[in-house]
Chain A
Amino acid sequence: MPEIGLDKGEGASGGRWMPLQGIRILDFGWVWAGPVVGQILGDMGGEVIKVESRRRLDFVRLFPPFAGGKPDPDGGLFFHSLNRNKLSLTLDLTQAKAVELLKRLVKLCDVVVENFSPKALPKLGLDYPALREVKPDLIMVSLSAAGQTGPWRDVLTYGPSLGALAGLDSLIGYPGERVLGWPMAYTDPASGLLAVFGIMAALLHRKRTGQGQYIDLAQWEATTALLPEFIMDFTMNGRIAGPQGNRHRRMAPHGCFRCRGEDAWVSIAVESEEEWRNLARALGNPDWCREHRFSSPEGRREAEEELRRRIEEWTSQRTPQEVMELLQAYAVPAFASYGIGDLLSDSHFEERGAKVVVDHPHMKGEVLYGLPWKFSRTPGRIRRRAPLLGEHNRYVLCELLGMSEEEVRSLEAEKVVY
């Protein structure tokens, strides 16, 4: 694993060229959907200034676990991963002076990212129309739950309740049983990635035309866009899909099978006739595989429960790893159902750079998640650990905005910088 110390490789001398070098992003993001946008842009070289305040912390700073075990806004380890490569500026935006400072800073930024509710920034006088006045070619993206317009725009949600509105949760559970839903907020990273795509397209447009723009991204809409086959089965045929389990509309077997060991499972998915024949061979061509009802995908889907029982008789005598290696040797799509521990100790994910080690003042040798994209020529990298609260106040206020140390001190005393 590459070792990246504090600020090593920063600046003109140590750094390799990175794709978003020279792009400055003002990051109002909090929790996950907003911060992941800045995280990705920062990983690829952008200068990301996270605006926060002791008055109202990004509460992920207080998510356990903590470096050193004690709750501390600088020690939240969940926060460290999502906010690496960022700078921290603390401003209490309920104060007029802070709003003025922020507007001066926006003049020097290319992109503003926020994921507050639609009411929040207009109340502070920091919505897009206000910011565009000081920076006409600004690109700004708002990732709200339901968008900036429409009757439900002010809906209050957390990630899981957004998956509920988007139709995603109605599909999650065991077939024929109650809805279970997805307790993790898939909507957050999925929306964040779409925001990055939109920002990059807007930057390209600005480069050609000089024109900035505003992106209204409803996380709900971004998520429903990922369920077309279920949406269209309703719009075409009036069919309302229920909990899907691990089943698939076209494939069988397509499921997760019990293996030897505690909570040990393997996923197997068979699409083509070739994959089915290979599966039969891997199982040792038992007689039941030749039964007529299993000879077509339709037949296999109809007899899926019987099929599952037969396959599970075989998998339950083996570990997930054994099953997957055996089936893959016969070119059958199969993979163990991994937990986080499995993933972190697997040599494949190690080789793909899933873990990066950084030093943080609160923890030496801290493991963060890596960068999922492999660029051949200009890869991104983690060049900076997550910022302490307000760590870069002086960089922003003195170096970027040209204020004196005395001015900053008096703003601190007034708790404008806070």
Chain B
Amino acid sequence: MGTGALDGVKVLEYGQLVSAAYCCKLMGDLGAEVIKVEVPPEGDPARRYGPFPQDLPHPERSGLFLYLNINKRGITLNPALPEGALIFRRLGEWADILVENWPPGTMEAMGLGYERLQEINPDLIMTSITPFGQTGPYSRYKAHSLNVCHGAGVAKGIGAPGREPLAPPGEQSHFFGALNAAAATMVALWERELSGEGQYLDIAEADCWAMLFNGVWFSKYLYGGEEVSRLGHRSNLPVYPWAVLRCKDGFVSATAPEEVQWQRLVDLMGNPEWANDPRFETSAKRSQHADELDEHIESWFSTRTKAEIFRSCQERNIPFSPIQDMREVVECPHLAERGYFVRIQHPEAGEILCPGPPYRLSETPWELRRRAPLLGEHNEEIFCGLLGCDLRDLERWRKEGVI
């Protein structure tokens, strides 16, 4: 094992599903020592999420869990029980960073809120990730990723006119929140290096979408009178082409707002007669006649594959790219040469293949240090080795459902 940028940083993760887990995965990937707390008997709901090999559900074979929890050690602990809370407090004393994603008030109800933990660990950094934050009228609202996307104005710009707005796929609110929480927590850790003091971070997924994603629309709305809208396979920007167009074997992302790019495309298509129409002179004018132009381009596309269009466009500096499906992403020669996907051996799930390094750090490279933990795999190591508890205590806690 090499050196990690976050070697020696101690992280306690207590959460469910995606946001806390991806946040702490980013830290573990760079060498932080992450202890993941799961509530017995079932553990993290991500264990029941899938996908599963051969579609056979099994708590040790869920793809989402196996991906989100590499580079962590795992224990079981129920802090809602008095003895569980006591043990949790000792882990809170050990940690530099605690990341949790339970509904507001959950930690306080167990006597594990920031103020209580700060009494025993004054320089603790505690990061809470929730849908709508710890304050404000919606802080107690229940929400899944879908609801947060819709609530923060993300979905209104995706989909077809008159039809239902579409949320981004999968658990994007949780992933986007996790990216924010991870970056923010590192800023707080840096600050602690200088001041010696910890703090509490309230990260709301809706805030992250509303500001860092949709904030760029505020001025359009307030000063340009423009609301987000859905135009199906096309953008509502007054430029053309900015669309998803059909070709022989699938779809192409045809995004080329600059005039010179349009001219190159016209050349590539063999300078057809229709392209001389003055109605198509500028990007803005073209966007007024997008249906007609879609037809022209799709008719040229219809005899060509994604790969052919990609190659001939990129050769001419036209920034079109293929809409790659999951197979094409996984089998893509570019990612293969960069070694993007990693194979992980797992005692229950066998060999799994999933995304590896999301970036490359030259001196402290991303590293697969350990596969995702089995449920309670490191109980003895953490409770006895780290906290110095007795094996007999472990036995009793097991019986009482504490661990």
Contact = CB atoms under 8 A, between A and B. Distances in A.
B230 to A, nearest CB: 9
Nearest to B163: A174
Nearest to B320: A161
A150 B334 contact: yes
Contacts of B250: 179
A12 B159 CA distance: 50
Interface of chain B, main secondary structure: mixed
Interface residues of B, number: 149
Contact of B150 (A40, A212, A267, A271): A267
Interface in A302-343: 328, 331-343
**Looking at chain A, what size class is its interface with the partner chain?**
35 or more
Given A200-B187, A352-B204, A256 B165 contact: yes
A166 B325 CA distance: 9
Contacts of B384: none
Interface string A360-401: 000000011111111111100000000000000000000000
A352 B156 contact: no
Contact of A339 (B67, B156, B223, B234): B156
Contacts of B246: 178
B276 interface: no
A237 interface: yes
Interface stretch (A48-56, A93-101, A247-255, A284-292): A247-255
B253 A44 contact: no
A63 B254 CA distance: 21
B244 A179 contact: yes
A116 interface: no
A113 interface: no
Contact of A172 (B166, B189, B208): B166
A335 B189 contact: no
B81 interface: no
Given A168-B169, A215-B359, A204 B146 contact: no
A158 B165 contact: no
Nearest to A211: B363
Contacts of B252: 164
A156 interface: yes
A19 B363 contact: no
Interface of A: 17, 19-20, 32, 36, 40, 44, 64-65, 67, 77-78, 80-82, 146-147, 149-153, 155-174, 178-184, 186, 189-190, 193-198, 200-205, 207, 209, 211-218, 221-222, 224-237, 239-242, 244-246, 248-251, 254-258, 263, 265-269, 271, 275, 328, 331-344, 347-349, 351-352, 354-355, 367-378
Closest 7 CB pairs of A and B: A369-B215, A200-B186, A232-B63, A77-B219, A65-B224, A164-B253, A183-B235
13 contacts: A165-B329, A180-B232, A183-B235, A194-B26, A196-B183, A204-B189, A213-B361, A221-B335, A221-B340, A229-B50, A237-B54, A338-B151, A376-B199
